[in-house]
Amino acid sequence: MESIHPHFKLILGSSSIARRKILTDMGYQFTLMSADIDEKSIRKDKPEELVLALAEAKADAIVSKLHTECEDEEQQPTILIASDTAEAIMQRIPDGDNIEEDKSTLLITCDQVVVYEDTVREKPSSVEEAREYIRGYSKGHTATVSSVAVTNLKTGLRKSGVDKVEIYFNEIPEETIEKLIEEGTVLKVAGALLIEHPLILPCVKEVAGTTDSVMGLPKELTEKLIKEVLAMTSI
C-alpha cells in the first residue's frame, strides 16, 4: 500500500504499543529505530523542561546513530520518531526505496512524565512504587506532561512543544490495583498510569485534554510540528 504522505517517510523509535497505534491511526506508515540514552542523567526542575530536554537528547542520539551507520551513504529522506524507551526494536532503513533526493528527513522524538501533587513521576522502580502510585490516584487527580520534538535533518530546523492533560479518578478498588500489578504493563509506563487500560478506564472520572496525549503521542501537537518544519523547507 502506498503511503498517504508520499513526500516523506516515517521511522518510529519506540517499543510503546500505544504510540505505534496512535501513529497508525494518524495515517502514517513507519519503520522502527531506537534512542538509547541514560534518561536518569538528564534532570530539570520543571516537568516541561525535563520532557523537552529528554526529547531533544533522543533526537541527538538518533542523529548521531544515523551519521555513524550511513557515513558512507547518502542520507535517506525519512521521518524518525523516538520516545521514552531505551529498549526499542531496531529496524534498519530499507534499501532500494527509490526515494527522491528533494524529500525532507524528519526526526520526531518524544517523552512523557506524570505529575502528581507537584512531584514528577517517571516509570516506577518497583512493584511497591507502582502500587503506591496507583493508590494515590484513587479519588484524586494527576497530570501527564508530554513532549514532541521534530527535527528536519535536511535543514537542521527543530521545533518542539509540550502538551499537558489533567486526569480525575473515581475510587480505584484494591482488587483492580493488584490485577494491574500482576499483569505488569503499568511497571513500564510513566507514573504507572494507563487510563486506556480496560481495568482502569471505568475508574476515570474526567480527562481534561486528549487521550492520545495521555498515551504518549499528542496527535494535534505532532501534526503541527511536522507541518512547521516541512513549511520551512519550501521557503
What residues are labeled active site?
111
Cell numbers placing 22: 496512535
- Measure the CA–CA gap between 157 and 160, rounded to whole angstroms: 10
Let me know: does 192 contact 130? Beta carbons within 8 Å. yes
Q: How are beta strands 158-169 and 141-152 bridged, if at all?
A: antiparallel
- Measure the CA–CA gap between 158 and 148, rounded to whole angstroms: 11
Q: How are beta strands 10-13 and 31-32 bridged, if at all?
A: parallel
Sign of CA dihedral 34, 57, 17, 171: positive
Let me know: does 91 contact 81? Beta carbons within 8 Å. no
- Measure the CA–CA gap between 36 and 145, rounded to whole angstroms: 21
Measured CA to CA in angstroms, residue 150 lies from 59, 82, 174, 180, 182 at distances of 8, 10, 41, 34, 36
- Measure the CA–CA gap between 182 and 176, rounded to whole angstroms: 10
Measured CA to CA in angstroms, residue 83 lies from 2, 110, 150 at distances of 26, 4, 12
